[in-house]
A and B are shown apart, each in its own frame.
Chain A
Amino acid sequence: MIRRDFLKVASTAVGAVTLAPWVIEREAAAAAEVDAVKSAFAEAALTRAKVLGASYADIRINRYRSETIFTRERQVQNVARNQDFGFGVRVLVNGTWGFAASSLVTADEIRRVTTVAVDIARANSRFQRKRVRLAPVEPAVASWKSAFEKDPFDVPLDDKIQFLLAINDTALKTSGVSFVNSSMRWVNEQRFLATSEGSRIEQYLIRGDPQFNVTAVSRATGDFQTRRSLRGPQARGYEYVERFPWQADAQQAAEEAVAKLNAKSVEPGRYDLVIHPTNLWLTIHESAGHSTELDRALWWEADYAGTSFLTPDKAGKLRFGSPLVNIVADRMQPTALATVAYDDDGVPAQRWYLVKDGIFVDWQTSRELAPLIDRAKSYGCTNADSWRSVPFARMPNVSLEPGAQDASLDDLVADVERGILVYGDGSWSIDQQRYNFQFGGQTFWEISKGKIAGMLRDVAYQSRSTDFWGACDGLGGRSTYELNGSFVDGKGEPGQIGVVSHGCPVARFRQINVLNTSVSMT
């Protein structure tokens, strides 16, 4: 168990809530007026739900702030700040869920909306086949702040604009670059959860997503190629912008976008792949992250996101990958996007193995899911993307552990006779049971006799999840480990957006099928 020194947990008794520190600004001042009565609002909702017959109820009163800046070439396209505030009440009546939400946060509205939630649950319960049971959890009273250093909402706007325009300028200085788009998005979530079981939890999270995309167009041939920034969003503050060498990546991206126009088109076939963490994170997400979601395995996502090739009987038995492969779920990893102190069921953040020594060993669970496989407690994977959304099972950070030896990227390349080195995430697609996937990338480099031999283009690798992970025969060490992730992981009906990180080292996979994706229009 990793030490959670950033987490401050009070006693389990219901009491006054320690509010998260606020940045001093106008929105915070306005929000503070609501915070003062938030606990009272919560009591009103939970009491009303109980009076109306709910066996369980919770209320989330959440504020989301976001700031986005979009630029292209030497102009700013838009600067926007958004405030999103409201509450959602969830109730269990006769073992059936009901939920209602509103952006009008007043005592009267909270009482009305709680009644709506109960009415929905009661109307549906007449036709309900299986009653919901929740795994028990100790009530918690806590306040928590994510691991950011410099609140991006305190950074002057001009600094952010100049940062993005400098990226564009860097890229545009490279001959052959035609266009560049850059943007940054910052999100602050201020979550408050109160449950009928006594939990009162405040959480304050900061996440950021700076990115850019460089395009080189050859007017003569009609060809165009792009190269996106390699790093993904993280749960960091503005220090993420200041510490990572974004300008150097912009320079490299510009050169690589232009070089792709004249790069050798790949010959399809089987290759050994050395995959950089900037690409492999997405393969982990799709093949290991989603396949180990228990709600998928129970066919709860059958109508949209899909089911899973993993079924409840396979836990502890199925060989998922080679013995090198250890995949861990972790909602406590600092700077990772799905890291919280508590989930939206009030369950504390945890870390556990999904794949151990290549064997699939465990699931992602929630309070509702855990009892269905006879588990006494939840792993705390419940999340809602908004006050207006129903909490349900979402992916924790899912990461591939680095190898025991501190192998470098060069070490892995050195043992490849004919292969391809892959950087950056590109096109991605996987079937609804997470068997067959196809992934692109940003740049591809031919490996010949243990050396990088030049750039390739039009590459996608296609495999079957267990075949792919079974072909893993080399892992980089801790020094190659990186955290990447997504701001836009879709799941559920109504669709919700998840944020999730995936850490991994550079890794090598033997004899993977590679496609040439180019199609001639003539």
Chain B
Amino acid sequence: MLTEADARTITNKLLGYVTADDAVVFIESEDYSHLRFAANTFLTSGRREGATARVTLWIDKRRGSASTTDLSDAALKQAVADAQTFAKLAPVDVEYLPSLMQQTYRPGQGWVDATARIDLSVRARQIGDAIAQSEKAKVIGAGFHQVGLLAHASATAHGNFHYERGSIASLGMTARTPDGAGSGYFARNHYDVARLDTGRIARESIRRASESKGARMLPAGSYPVILEAQAVADLLDSGGMSFDARNADEGRSVFSLPGGATRVGTPLFDPRINILSDPWRPQLATFIASEEGVPARAMHLVRNGVVESLRYSRFWAQQKSQQPSGPLALVMEPSTPGVSVEDMIKTATRALLVSRFFYIRNVDPRSASVTGLTRDGVWYIENGEIKYPVRNFRFNQSIVLMLGPGNVDAIGVPERVASSEGGVEPVLVPALRLNSFNFTSQSDAI
């Protein structure tokens, strides 16, 4: 993986080859390894190393871009030459803004040396142990362990340079009973491999598989629910509720209002809900600059239920006299003390406990409505106790209305999780107890 010195050398070379009026260059370097298992045996395991250099430049405000994975001088020169060729042929980029001058960056914290030094045999033994636990519990385990080391560097013709690196270790595991009647999932990730409790992940997925066996079919309809943090992350990462300012201003977002206004300043959510972007939260520690070098900002999108701000690209920020937002590091947290999932269950009169959602897709962007399915564990709760497992449902639900005043009953303690469909990008979100969630049909899937 490229060091800061390596990256600076390459960005300097790229900028040195540029004869255009302006340019931004970006280098992404990775060292990534994985071990995948299923049916209680190892499937694939591998490591990849590489880097990509991308150059975007402007000639008379005409834009061209090229990238290459070959970092030789000849290839870098070729990439610059290609980008310049495209720029000469392109129409004027009416959204051109001069590249950034030197920015000030508050350092990120998402790198741990120990994660970079993970030993192959240690990982093999950890996954071997997960499989052994599965065999002992008479379930069939499948899962995915990955370690990613990533370095980003950006530089501009106007003198900005930024380098940062991040590490991440992750394990997700699905256990199924051999008869296919039960399935459980659990996943966690962390930038510090020492904080990844692989034993807990295996135990949780196995327990859930056993306890979800023999699920009963309930009729579709509106139910009170307790969504575990994983399920909340799955919903929020689905793209159903984008805070993009330009879409809202253009009238094509759930945050648009008739007549051209937006919902900024509107109490759209439960008054205890706060939604933020903050990559410096110690539990998150994600990247703190965008590809073009825009520094991240710690910012509230929703404060005490009121939409406080939307997210701005550089161009739209300039158009609307706002600050560009930089990369998003999603946090949802309550204004009040968080309630544990155990306490949510104990104090529930009637609810369905949902552990994971699957295949979530937008249905109606005007209301941030999505469809998808529950997966790997749903349980019926009555009078403070889990009574029995329940078969899966399809849902159709507006995320905004789900989080709206009157529907949020209790909010948990934020946890670091990642969408089970979206990779390892972490978010910090709580479990939620909701008065109503709209299940529209039954699913036979287990």
Q: List residues of A whose CB falls within 8 A of some B CB.
A: 26-27, 30, 75-86, 88, 90, 96-105, 113, 116-117, 119-121, 123-124, 126-130, 156-158, 161, 165, 178-179, 215, 217-224, 298-304, 306-307, 309, 388-390, 392, 427-436, 438, 440, 458, 460, 462, 464, 493-495, 513, 515, 517-521
Give Cα A217–Cα B258 distance, bound, in whole angstroms. 10
CB <8 Å contact, A515 and B396: yes
CB <8 Å contact, B176 and A299: yes
Q: Which residues of chain B have C-beta atoms less than 8 A from A303's C-beta?
A: 38, 142-144, 172-174, 185
Q: Which of B48-105 contact A (CB under 8 A)?
A: 48-52, 56, 63-71, 74-75, 78-79, 81-83, 86-87, 89-91, 93-95
**Known contacts A82-B67, A217-B252, A436 near B372 by CB under 8 Å:** no
Give Cα A218–Cα B256 distance, bound, in whole angstroms. 11
Give Cα A246–Cα B128 distance, bound, in whole angstroms. 54
CB <8 Å contact, A97 and B45: yes
Q: Which of B347-362 contact A (CB under 8 A)?
A: 358-362
List 29 A-B residue pairs with CB atoms under 8 Å apart, sorted by A's residue number: A97-B43, A101-B47, A102-B50, A103-B70, A120-B33, A129-B42, A130-B39, A130-B41, A156-B89, A219-B251, A220-B258, A221-B258, A222-B258, A224-B256, A224-B365, A299-B140, A299-B142, A303-B143, A303-B144, A309-B445, A388-B50, A429-B372, A431-B392, A432-B373, A436-B442, A436-B443, A458-B364, A494-B32, A517-B363
Contact of A117 among B38, B46, B79 (CB under 8 A): B46
Give Cα A27–Cα B140 distance, bound, in whole angstroms. 48
**Known contacts A30-B74, A30-B78, A515 near B45 by CB under 8 Å:** no
- Which B residue sits closest to A392, measured CB to CB? B44
CB <8 Å contact, B89 and A436: no
CB <8 Å contact, A179 and B250: yes
Give Cα A149–Cα B421 distance, bound, in whole angstroms. 38
User: Which DSSP category, helix, strand, loop or mixed, fits chain A's interface?
Assistant: mixed
Q: Which residues of chain B have C-beta atoms less than 8 A from A98's C-beta?
A: 45-46
Give Cα A431–Cα B260 distance, bound, in whole angstroms. 38
**Known contacts A300-B142, A521-B401, A222 near B251 by CB under 8 Å:** yes
CB <8 Å contact, A129 and B34: no
CB <8 Å contact, A298 and B39: yes
CB <8 Å contact, A519 and B131: no
Using C-beta atoms within 8 Å of the partner chain, give the interface range for chain B: 35 or more
Q: Which residues of chain B have C-beta atoms less than 8 A from A390's C-beta?
A: 44, 46
Q: Which residues of chain B have C-beta atoms less than 8 A from A75's C-beta?
A: 91, 93-95
CB <8 Å contact, B91 and A301: no
Give Cα A90–Cα B50 distance, bound, in whole angstroms. 17
Minimal beta-carbon separation of B383 from chain A (angstroms):
30
CB <8 Å contact, B120 and A119: yes
CB <8 Å contact, A83 and B68: yes
Which 9 residue pairs are nearest across A and B when measured between Cβ atoms? A99-B46, A127-B128, A103-B50, A222-B258, A433-B445, A80-B65, A431-B445, A519-B367, A493-B144
Contact of B95 among A77, A127, A224 (CB under 8 A): A77
A-B CB pair tally, cutoff 8 Å? 300
- Which A residue sits closest to B55, measured CB to CB? A80
Q: Which residues of chain B have C-beta atoms less than 8 A from A517's C-beta?
A: 363-364, 369, 371, 396
Give Cα A444–Cα B205 distance, bound, in whole angstroms. 43
Minimal beta-carbon separation of A153 from chain B (angstroms):
11
Minimal beta-carbon separation of A283 from chain B (angstroms):
14
- Which A residue sits closest to B146, measured CB to CB? A494
Minimal beta-carbon separation of A436 from chain B (angstroms):
4
Contact of A79 among B48, B68, B90, B144 (CB under 8 A): B90
Contact of B371 among A83, A427, A458 (CB under 8 A): A427
Q: Which residues of chain A have C-beta atoms less than 8 A from B89's C-beta?
A: 79, 156-158, 161
Give Cα A302–Cα B131 distance, bound, in whole angstroms. 14
**Known contacts A80-B65, A81-B66, A120 near B45 by CB under 8 Å:** yes
B300 interface residue (CB < 8 Å to A): no
Q: Which of B251-292 contact A (CB under 8 A)?
A: 251-252, 254, 256-260
**Known contacts A179-B250, A429-B361, A30 near B46 by CB under 8 Å:** no
Give Cα A101–Cα B256 distance, bound, in whole angstroms. 46
Contact of A300 among B38, B78, B79, B87 (CB under 8 A): B38
CB <8 Å contact, A224 and B251: yes
* Residue among A27, A215, A218, A517 having the largest count of chain B Cβ atoms under 10 Å: A517
Minimal beta-carbon separation of B282 from chain A (angstroms):
27
**Known contacts A99-B47, A179-B252, A127 near B369 by CB under 8 Å:** no
CB <8 Å contact, B38 and A80: no
CB <8 Å contact, A101 and B67: no
CB <8 Å contact, B124 and A124: yes
CB <8 Å contact, A427 and B39: no
Minimal beta-carbon separation of B39 from chain A (angstroms):
5
Give Cα A303–Cα B176 distance, bound, in whole angstroms. 10
Q: Which residues of chain B have C-beta atoms less than 8 A from A161's C-beta?
A: 89-91
Give Cα A18–Cα B183 distance, bound, in whole angstroms. 50
- Which B residue sits closest to A391, measured CB to CB? B44
